Amino acid sequence: MSLDIALILSVDGLAAAAIYLLAGLGLVLVFSVTRVIFVPFGDIAVFSALTLAFLEAGRTPPTIALVAILAGLTTAKECWQLIRQRNLSRLPRILLAWGALPLIPCIPAVLAAGRDLPPAVAVAISLGLVLPIVPLLARLVYQPIADASVLVLLIASLVLHFLLSGLGLLFFGPEGFRTQPLLRGGINLAPGLFVSLQVVLMIATALLLALLFFLAFEKTLTGKALRATAINRTGARLVGIRPSMTATLTFGATSLLAGVVGILIAPATTMYYDSGLIIGLKAFVAAIIGGLGSYPLTALGAVAVGLVESFASFWNGAMKDVIVFSLLIPALLVRSHYSSHSDDGAEEEV
């Protein structure tokens, strides 16, 4: 392999790493705050990519119907709960929070359908439409079993993935879509090393969002509350941090991350209704390298996964996924060597 090829593969690898970094951050965030391994992350990314593709094609994105159905189901569930608790004074708040608020992003989407939209507007509408999906799903699926074991939550996640993948087929159909690049052209970094602006955008977005996450967690009281919930749930409740609030915030941030991943990846890869699982699984490898708890190590894991995938696809395209997932073995060996085993039981007791 010449240096030129190695450099090209490295750039490709870093572009992929940017995707896995965002997805990995989402997985670590959700797990540390709620103990949910959010398998359907990739499915949400697919929804955002396909929504953008529909808007670009001048069609009404079926995501609107999905959001409306989820909002309806969630509101019904919440109202039923209030009626059972005979606590009807909270009804207007619930109707507003779960019935009306998630539908707000649907309005621009309905208005925009069929029009020729500037790319930035189409992206904003797609992100807005995807934003309420994960908080709604979490309220419907995870909140009633929030105190269940990690295994039960994982099984619920797997079921949710298959359900969302099926809904993707129902709403978006079986054909694949690729969206327009958000930026065209590129820069010549060196003779023979052309980097497209789309790749620069992917890497820059990932770095910027990672930085924003860091600042939000370190500098704001709400960010500290999320961290506190991840560290000590009982302690968090004792200072008045509501687990349902932190969960909704966490899932909202995850929805946004998944949306961004979908928008960034769609110009580079043809997206199908079921393309999500593989994105989620590779990000999961990055998150496992970070022990599902450390953001810097997850970032490192994402770079490792991206580079390994890129080089593996050059040497043996058919084996690239096998090679990427093989990264789990040394990662788990090292982790199990350095972690104390008594933690396993403690985690289940939470």
Partner 1 sequence: MTDIFALEDIHVAYGKVEAVRGVSLSMQAGTITSVIGPNGAGKTTLLAAAIGLLPSTGAVRFKGEDIAHLGVEDRVELGLCLVPETRELFGEMSVVDNLMLGAYARRSARRRMPGLLDDVYDRFPRLAERRDQQADTLSGGERQMLAVGRALMSEPQLLMLDEPSLGLAPLIVIEILDIVKSLRHEGVSVLLVEQNALAALDCSDHGYVLESGELSFSGASAALKADQRIFETYLGGL
Half-sphere exposure of 43 (CA within 13 A, CB side): 23
179 sits in the region (left: phi over 0; alpha: psi -120 to 50; else beta) called beta
Sequence letter at residue 66: L
Under the binding rule (CB under 8 A), the answer on residue 316 touching partner 1 is no
> Which of 95, 146, 183, 228 is close enough to bind partner 1 by CB under 8 A?
228
> Which of 52, 66, 209, 225 is close enough to bind partner 1 by CB under 8 A?
225
Output the smallest distance, CB 177 to partner 1, in A.
43
**Tokens coding 27:** 């997985």
Binding mask 32-61 for partner 1 (x = CB under 8 A): ------------------------------
Under the binding rule (CB under 8 A), the answer on residue 339 touching partner 1 is no
Q: Are 290 and 298 in contact (CB under 8 A)?
A: yes
270 sits in the region (left: phi over 0; alpha: psi -120 to 50; else beta) called beta
> Which of 166, 173, 192, 235 is close enough to bind partner 1 by CB under 8 A?
235
Nearby residues of 261 by Cβ (< 8 Å), 6 or more positions away: 19, 22, 23, 26, 41, 45, 48, 279
Under the binding rule (CB under 8 A), the answer on residue 329 touching partner 1 is no
Distance CA 252, CA 246 (A): 10
Q: Are 113 and 60 in contact (CB under 8 A)?
A: yes
Under the binding rule (CB under 8 A), the answer on residue 120 touching partner 1 is no
Distance CA 221, CA 235 (A): 15
Under the binding rule (CB under 8 A), the answer on residue 115 touching partner 1 is no
Q: What is the DSSP letter of 113?
A: T
Distance CA 122, CA 110 (A): 12
Interface with partner 1 in residues 153-172 (CB under 8 A): none
Under the binding rule (CB under 8 A), the answer on residue 241 touching partner 1 is yes
Q: Are 23 and 257 in contact (CB under 8 A)?
A: yes
> Which of 92, 174, 185, 240 is close enough to bind partner 1 by CB under 8 A?
240
Under the binding rule (CB under 8 A), the answer on residue 242 touching partner 1 is yes
Nearby residues of 14 by Cβ (< 8 Å), 6 or more positions away: 199, 203, 303, 306, 307
Stretch in the footprint of partner 1 (CB under 8 A) among 62-70, 228-236, 262-270, 333-341: 228-236
**Backbone phi and psi for residue 53, each to the nearest 5 degrees, phi listed first:** -60, -40
Under the binding rule (CB under 8 A), the answer on residue 346 touching partner 1 is no
Under the binding rule (CB under 8 A), the answer on residue 1 touching partner 1 is no
> Which of 1, 120, 239, 346 is close enough to bind partner 1 by CB under 8 A?
239
Under the binding rule (CB under 8 A), the answer on residue 232 touching partner 1 is yes
Output the smallest distance, CB 221 to partner 1, in A.
6
Under the binding rule (CB under 8 A), the answer on residue 66 touching partner 1 is no
Under the binding rule (CB under 8 A), the answer on residue 234 touching partner 1 is yes
Distance CA 149, CA 152 (A): 5
> Which of 88, 237, 339, 347 is close enough to bind partner 1 by CB under 8 A?
237
Under the binding rule (CB under 8 A), the answer on residue 90 touching partner 1 is no
Output the smallest distance, CB 346 to partner 1, in A.
13
Count the residues of the shown chain that bind partner 1, applying the rule CB under 8 A. 16
Output the smallest distance, CB 231 to partner 1, in A.
5
Per CB under 8 A, residues contacting partner 1 are 221, 224-225, 227-228, 231-232, 234-242
